[in-house]
Amino acid sequence: MRPSTFAPVDPSGPDAQELLLDELADPAYAAAQPTWFDLLSQAVFEWFQNLQFSPGEGPPVLALVIGGALVAVAVLVAILVYGLPRRRARSRAAGELFGESDRRSVKELRRASAAAAARGDFALAIAERFRALARALDERTLLAVMPGTTAHEAARQAARAFPAEREALEAGASAFDGVRYQGDEGDQAGYDALRMLDERLQQTSPILPSADGAGPTAPGGSPAARSRAGAPS
């Protein structure tokens, strides 16, 4: 007859100890034990629960310090993960010279600017004219408009080829930023100044750096330079 594998109903002392050790050695039992993090969290929770204050008393200074530290850590983690919403929105806006989906040509931008000026929307007229100016210079390879390029960065780049128009370019960039991001309404004078600047740049030969590094030269110095500047050969 096969012997029974069940533990005796009333084990002796050594048998009971052996059974207990076998039970504790079971991996399932070990996996069910709380981790150090569980124990720490429970201890902190119980500490807060055990805080008792007398009537009229506030929490002790230590509790305030610990609570403030926890809040500060949470805020810091949120900033690191998500950033500052307004600052990030402002940074994105400051880099929108054209926008990701704006593929209009120079002529289309100029027509949109003139149409906006005709109906008295000078804010839009100024913004569209500055975009037309920048896109025209980009097509002439006198300006490199990349994602994130700001109006003032475009003005500084253009001023290298048109140093005599440096102040007008900076004024145009300021007008663009004003109507685009600062809520300015713009006016006829601001639009006319930007329109005339755009027209002057179309008719002006840029100053290009010479190939030998001797200094800037006019675009008539070589066929390649004339081609880059967009001047007729």
Q: Does 92 score more than 50 pLDDT?
A: no
pLDDT value, residue 208: 80
Three-class secondary structure assignment of the chain: CCCCCCCCCCCCHHHHHHHHHHHHCCHHHHHCCCCHHHHHHHHHHHHHHCCCCCCCCCCCHHHHHHHHHHHHHHHHHHHHHHCCHHHHHHHHHHCCCCCCCCCCCHHHHHHHHHHHHHCCCHHHHHHHHHHHHHHHHHHCCCCCCCCCCCHHHHHHHHHHHCHHHHHHHHHHHHHHHHHHHCCCCCCHHHHHHHHHHHHHHHHCCCCEECCCCCCEECHHHCHHHHHHHCCCC
Tens digit of each residue's pLDDT (9 = 90 or more) over 42-60: 776 676 666 655 555 555 6
Tens digit of each residue's pLDDT (9 = 90 or more) over 165-220: 999 999 999 999 999 889 999 999 999 999 999 999 999 999 987 655 545 555 54
